[in-house]
Amino acid sequence: MRENSQDGLVASTDPAAAIGAARAGEYALLSTLLLTPPDADLLERLSRLGGGASELGRAHEALAAAAASRAPTEVEREHFELFVGVGRGTLVPYASYYLTGFLQERPLARLRQDLAAAGLEREAGCAEPEDHIGVLCEAMSRLVRRSPLGDAVQRTMFERHIATWAPQFFDDLGRAEQARFYRSVADVGRVFLQVEAAAFRFATPDPAVGEV
C-alpha cells in the first residue's frame, strides 16, 4: 500500500504525535505479522516487547513470550498452515470472504473506492488484494501517520472495512488449532481493535458506515 499523493507524514512534538506513532506502529506490526511470517531478527525484537498493566500491555507481554519460545521455521510453518495451506489455509483473511462467503466481492470494490478517495493504492507487485487483513492494517497505519489523532477518513475506513469483520477474524485466529505463536498475535489484534473502536465512538458517526 502506498500513497498516490504528496501528503507527507505528520511531524509534531505534540502528545498527539506519540499517540499517532503508537497507533500507526500497532497497525504496522499486525500488518507485518499477518502478511509474512517473522524472521529470526523480528522474533528477537518482538521478544523484547514491553508490556504494562493494561489489557493491550498484557497482550504485548504474551506476544513477547511467544516470540521468545518459537523458532523461525516453526512460525513460518504455522503461518503457512493458517493463511496459505495447500489449496487454502485454515483461515481466509479477506473481508469479502467474511462478509459474503466469497472472494473478490462487492466489499473489495467498495474498499478500493474508499482507498482511492483517501489517496492510497496497492503497491506494484503486491500479491494480496486490498481486503486482506494485513493490507488493511498497512493502509490504516499510513492514514494514522498522516493524521495522528484520527479523522473522518480513518473512522470510515475502520468502521466500514475493519470493524465489520476483523474482530471475528481475530477470534477465529485465536481459536485455531494450528495457532501457537499466532494466538498471541490474535490477542493483540483483538484488544487493539477494541481500543480503536472505543476511540472512534467519540467521533460523529458516518451515516454511510455499514453498507456492504
Domains with residue ranges and CATH for the chain: 13-200 (1.10.3480.10)
Rounded Cα–Cα distance for residues 104 and 25 (Å)? 28
Whether 14 shows a pLDDT value over 80: the answer reads: no
Whether 3 shows a pLDDT value over 90: the answer reads: no
pTM summary value: 0.88
Cell digits of residue 89: 489455509
For 120, residues 6+ apart whose C-beta sits below 8 A from its C-beta are 1, 2, 3, 4, 139, 142, 143
Three-state DSSP class for residue 160: helix
Three-state DSSP class for residue 38: coil
Give the pLDDT band (50/70/90) at residue 111: very high
Find out whether 161 and 96 touch, Cβ atoms under 8 Å.
no
DSSP 45-94: HHTT----SSHHHHHHHHHHHHHHH--HHHHHHHHIIIII-SSS-SS--B
pLDDT greater at residue 206 or residue 181:
181
Rounded Cα–Cα distance for residues 103 and 94 (Å)? 7
Rounded Cα–Cα distance for residues 138 and 19 (Å)? 17
Give pLDDT tens digits for 38-57.
Answer: 999 999 999 999 888 899 99
pLDDT greater at residue 150 or residue 161:
161
